[in-house]
Amino acid sequence: MKQAVASSFSFIEPMNALLVPVLSAGDWLYEMKFDGYRALGFKSGSDVQLVSRNRTSFNKAYPQLIDALKSLPAKNAITDGEIAALDQHGKPSFQLLQADGKSKGTALIYYAFDLLSLEGKDLRYRPLVGRRKLLARLLEKPPVNIRFSEELRGKRDRLVEEAHQFQLEGLVAKGPNSLYESGRRSGAWVKVKLTQEQEFVIGGYTQPEGSRKYFGSLLVGYCEGRRLLFAGRVGTGFSDILLKDIYNALQKIRRDSCSLVNLPEKRRGRWAKESLLRS
């Protein structure tokens, strides 16, 4: 379970990227959009915190990343980056990350893309390219679980095409001379999503069969006006850990009736109140 941030660190609001439908032409520095958790890394000597955008500590959840941050060759530093879980092909997987990276062969990586402070010097008012040069130097010999988020080189249209081919979540474009605007979404950083997503509601689940535990499939739906319509079943891709976590969460919000108005064979399922599922 994630914990509140230790009070010894002064939290910095992360700068946010503006979501756009397409990337515009211009002088941009392009990076991959990771499908993970945004996290700020705070290091002061041996004292380290890895913190979410909502001021929640990741220290207990990802101790291997804390050890990696402690070994950075700087006494004091504040980094901005993304926690990602890589599948067997080296592609970030949010599903694996939700399972806390406990699946066999899963690599947990902290991708650092910005440096906000180094040895007590506030770098937020320096151009992005300068901050990233210092960050690259800091990560010349990085710990196992930390990587520098490299710039994607090439023309915009070609980068978008390649990102589609590799089924990446999206791309981020940043002004090379942009300052770090804490807590703002000014447009100096923009992001475009390349994968289509739909938010579904969990309406219930089926009983497990065979050797499977907890539940068989999740029954999901979507809102149309005030009605919740059945969309389908989601039954694959769950690790044993994720099956248990979802099942336990659903038990807290159980109800006796089904909220999916057009579900076939309603009598065979068990129902939960509205709980969002990423899809």
Catalytically annotated residues: 33
The per-residue b/e assignment along 156-173, b for 16 or more CB within 10 angstroms, e otherwise, is: beebbeebeeeebbbbbb
Spatial distance between the Cα atoms of 203 and 205, rounded to a whole number of angstroms? 7
Measured in whole angstroms, the distance separating CA 11 from the mean position of its chain's CA atoms is 19
Q: Around 118, how many Cα atoms within 13 Å sit in the side-chain half-sphere? A: 20
DSSP 8-state secondary structure symbol assigned to residue 207 = P
Nearest residue to 148 via CA among 184, 111, 175 = 111
Q: Phi then psi for 196, rounded to 5 degrees?
A: -85, 130
Maximal CA-CA distance, the chain = 64
Helix (H) or strand (E) holding 130: helix 128-138
Helix or strand or coil: residue 161?
helix
Tokens of 109: 């990586």
Spell out the residues 6+ positions from residue 267 whose beta carbon is closer than 8 angstroms to its own: none
